[in-house]
Amino acid sequence: MLMQVEGCATCGGRRRCFKAAWQTSHFSYFGVKEWGVRSKFCLHDVCSVVVSSRQQISMRREWRRSAVRFRIAASFGASADQCIPGVEKERRKILMSHTVNMSLLRARLAKSVGLVAACAAFSGAGAGADVVLDWNNVLLDTIRGYGDPGQSTGNIQAARAAAMMHTAVHDAVSGIDALNKPLWYSPYHVATSPGNANASREAAVAGAAHSVLTTMYPGFQVNFDAALNNTLAGLGGGQNVNDGLAWGQFVGNEILNARASDGTNSPQQYTPGTGPGNWVMPGADWGTSHWAHSNPWAMSSADQFLAPGPRALDSAEYAAAWQEVYDYGSVNSAVRTADQTEAVAYWQNGAGTHRPPGIWNVIAQSAINLSGTPGGVVGDSLSENARLFAHLNIALMDAGISSWNSKHEFNFWRPITAIHEADTDGNGATASDAAWVPLVDAVGSPEYTSGLSTFSMAAAMILTEYFGENYNFSSMSDGTSSNPDILRSFGSFAEAAFEAGDSRIWAGIHFRFSNEDGFDVGEGIADLVFNNYLLAIPTPGAGLAFVIGLAATGARRRR
């Protein structure tokens, strides 16, 4: 928990500071100045009135890591600093930023530019407000293979399909909003508008989604045609509907053209390593290795958020992570609880399901269905939903590219190999066990970083931006005949992301440091996407200077 305290000696009592009280079964302490050293002091480098939800999550995660280091020290009879060479001595500086109340921002905009009536009109969702969710469900069925696991989409391919469809949907809505609204969200790629300002936005959504999906998955054309006809049947026909449909199809084709040479169809250029620590291919090529160098959607390069690398094989931190997955990840584990085993099944998302990117789209739908569409400066549920799912899936796609890039760069072995061949790792705290079998057999790519952890924290931070911290929700897994539906509840999106990472340890397929570094990467990608893409901009004449100035100082968060 975070506690506000007065009278910091460093600040001379001039400002309020924060200190953290965090407790485990091993120890309690206030603040952490150095790894391995318990201390009580004011975190004067984070003086501010507000600590944002993302910063709270980052701070909690660092404190949680310090607990792991204390446990390592206890296990190996030395201080954490002695056990882990290169551990940073100072906690990472948390840069404060201004957290915007979007409802207040919308009200201030309305008052300042005389748009109270307009904003009130935009706040209610009319017919077709759920068309974005409708097509999101079509997308999820596509990823599942429409009931045929053999035609289901892989993890990173699912993320790309979602990013393709939802950026097209967003840009189709944005182009029409630009003609009609005092505030609208900037497009991701297609920066034009249709000729008819009254073109149906619902038809545009359907046209964009249909265009992208039929091109990417021609085998499901009949399903997409049926979904399109279902959308259009509720719109009544007419010129505005026809123009909206044509506009959406144009936008969809523009997105397809823009990504046609993004490197996802390039020849594979992957050579597996040999020796201790290197991933061993399970009798087949790593089929999506070339995606490691594909063109990102928001990042400047595929390696912009390259993770720092797996821990040295002879280090204490590696040994602790090895022991954890050895104990908890075995198919016959005596310490893994029934709840942990259920979590593994919930987050597994294998062939025939909506895959890891899909589960976060389902979670987003759950939040919208529970609380309604989050209010944004445009204040229209169709526009807000289109933007939310575009933000979410751009972040998921770049999270996938970044994780694949780290996998390709470090080529680290999976726990099953690390345990079977532990006698070769040079670490006296590990020992080979050729009989060890993981709970889940999933070794189709190198271990580091965890794709699920990277996907999950990127998605969790995007959804936290929309729905807030400490958002309680429940969501159902995507069950199959061998893995029935499971309902799980969470106290925040970050809590769900942390459990997703833990589930990979309990499954026996990832080490903790692979999760933790994936979390950091996912968080950075979410920051990049949310703060720099699909931003609110005014229509000319709608208080340009004021709106831009307010957005620059308040709506964008910097770290």
- All domains in the chain, ordered by first residue: 2-83 (no CATH), 129-541 (1.10.606.20)
Q: In what order do the strands lie in the sheet with 17-23?
A: 2-5, 17-23, 28-30
456-468 per-position pLDDT tens digit: 999 999 999 999 9
- The tens digit of pLDDT for each residue in 429-447 reads 999 999 999 999 877 899 9
Find out whether 360 and 396 touch, Cβ atoms under 8 Å.
yes
Going by pLDDT thresholds of 50, 70 and 90, the confidence category of residue 57 is low
| Residue 407, amino acid | K
pLDDT at position 284, please? 67
Give me the mean pLDDT over the 8-17 stretch: 34
pLDDT digits (tens, 9 = 90+) for 331-374: 999 999 999 999 999 998 877 788 989 999 999 999 999 998 88
Q: Please, are residues 299 and 432 in contact by the beta-carbon 8 Å criterion?
A: no
Residue 531 phi, psi (nearest 5): -85, -10
Confidence at residue 542, expressed as pLDDT on a 0 to 100 scale: 55
Q: Which of 287, 454, 443, 475 is nearest to 363 (CA)?
A: 475
Question: Which tens digits make up the pLDDT trace of 134-168?
Answer: 999 999 999 998 878 888 888 999 999 999 999 99
Exposure pattern of 158-177 as b/e (b: 16+ CB <10 Å)? bbbbbbbbbbbbbbbbbbbb
Task: Pick the range with the lowest mean pLDDT from 143-147, 230-234, 242-246, 448-452.
Answer: 143-147
Gap between the Cα atoms of 545 and 538, Å rounded = 9
Q: What is the pTM of this model?
A: 0.77
Q: What is the pLDDT of residue 373?
A: 85
Q: Give pLDDT tens digits for 292-335.
A: 999 999 999 999 999 999 999 999 999 999 999 999 999 999 99
User: How far is residue 444 from each of residues 206, 286, 388, 411, measured CA to CA in Å?
Assistant: 35, 6, 31, 12
What is the spatial distance between Cα 299 and Cα 397, in angstroms, rounded to a whole number?
10
pLDDT average, residue stretch 243-248? 98
| Cα 490 from Cα 404, distance rounded (Å) | 28
Task: Annotate 527-551 with three-state secondary structure.
Answer: HHHHHHCCCEEECCCCCHHHHHHHH
Confidence of residue 61 (pLDDT cuts 50, 70, 90): low
Please give the Cα distance from 515 to 456 (Å, whole number): 10
Phi, psi (deg, nearest 5) at residue 536: -70, 135
Query: Could you give the angle at the alpha carbon of 386 between the alpha carbons of 383 and 391, nearest 5°?
Result: 120
Residue 476, beta-bridge partner list: 487
Instruction: Round to whole Å and give the CA distance between 73 and 496.
Output: 28
Mean pLDDT of 410-417: 96
38 forms beta bridges with 32
Q: Is the pLDDT of residue 105 over 90?
A: no
Residue 105 or 22, more confident: 105
Beta partners for residue 487, in sequence order? 476
Q: How far apart are CA 88 and CA 394, in angstroms?
A: 32
Peptide bond between residue 373 and the one before it cis (omega within 30 degrees of 0): no
